[in-house]
Amino acid sequence: MSGGVDSSTAAVLLKGQDEEIVGLSMQLWKDNGRCCSLDDLWDARRVATHLGIPFYVLNLEKDFENTVVRPFVDSYLQGETPSPCILCNNYVKFHHLVDKAAGIGADRVATGHYARVRYDGALERWLLIRGKDRNKDQSYFLFGLTQEQLSKTVFPLGELTKPEVREIARRAGLPTSDKAESQEICFVQGRSYADFVEQYAGIQTNQAGEIVTESGGVVGTHSGIHRYTVGQRKGLVASGRPQYVVRIQAELNQIVIGDDPQRARFTVRDPNWIAIEGLTEPIRCDVQIRNRFEPKPSTVSLSNGEVTVEFDSPQRAITPGQAAVFYWDDVVVGGGWIQR
């Protein structure tokens, strides 16, 4: 229970099915304004009291810092653009919640994510499927779940739309029914990503470096590679035509700029497979390379031991550090992290 309307409504639905439920919240980051903050924990406790269910708070601040915050900062300093919410789902939320559930005698864990889980008898695998509400679907952020985790996970909101969830919450009299959603990364709340990285990493010295063209010509200077991401157009040198960040060379402290960066091919590291046991031959699927990106037809294959994605047509801003998730229609085949 995060203290928001979605997880609160998930609890309402489960209780309405006569499930015996226990509310668990995670204390993740002491210095934030929304999402798992102290105010959110209080809201979650209010909902649990309203529903008459036991409620406990897990202090996971150390794990959250080690597995989410530090990799987030390191990724930016290495010229990548991280996806901390996916790391949080993979290594904090589901990892600890599944273990904690077993420890208190619970069979399953439920969250307020907009996604669906189904067991496929023919494949003999648990499947992760997009939520019915495509505008709220969160399957992209859950691609790292294992078969064991999926077998113990329930998504009560998977068949609902956001307006339907709000209405259920209002009818149930939940104190969070009209609570606004946070659109920011919880631990960065109210600051720019670059400012957070600098503060956390204790950067005191000048991080300036060169802005160069793809042919190597120096055309300007930057104030730190952590302030840039592939596909970025703002904050670059003045030119007679639009220029974009096409590559970040962390080892040289350089930002490489050029025309609109469109590529068709990239590699993926640390893949996790859901609908298949592993990749043994090329497969056709639709690939999503960031949130709010419409998946595009692709071929995913193994090349020299690496997972390689080849879009049917070039796409802009294929960004190292972001997740690439593979779909068969609404079914998540698997996914991994964009490498190069």
Catalytic residues: 88, 186
Does residue 287 contact residue 298 with C-beta atoms inside 8 Å? yes
CA pair distance 229, 3, nearest whole angstrom: 32
d(CA 109, CA 7): 12
Residues near 257 by Cβ (< 8 Å), separated by ≥ 6? 211, 212, 213, 214, 219, 236, 237, 243, 244, 245, 246
Q: Please check whether residue 109 is in contact with residue 101, taking contact to mean a CB–CB distance below 8 angstroms.
A: yes
Indicate the pairing of strand 323-328 with strand 283-288: antiparallel
**Which stretches of the chain are assigned E, i.e. beta strand?**
23-27, 55-59, 109-110, 115-120, 125-130, 153-154, 209-213, 218-222, 244-249, 254-258, 262-273, 283-288, 296-303, 306-316, 323-328, 331-338
Neighbours of 104 (CB within 10 A): 10
- Which residue(s) pair with 169 in the sheet? none
Instruction: Name 333's Cβ contacts closer than 8 Å, sequence gap at least 6.
Output: 273, 274, 275, 276, 283, 285, 300, 326, 327
Provide the phi-psi class of 79: left if phi over 0, else alpha when psi is between -120 and 50, else beta. Answer: left
Bin 176: left if φ > 0, else alpha if -120 < ψ < 50, else beta: alpha
Q: How far apart, in Å, are the Cα atoms of 13 and each of 98, 180, 185?
A: 20, 20, 27
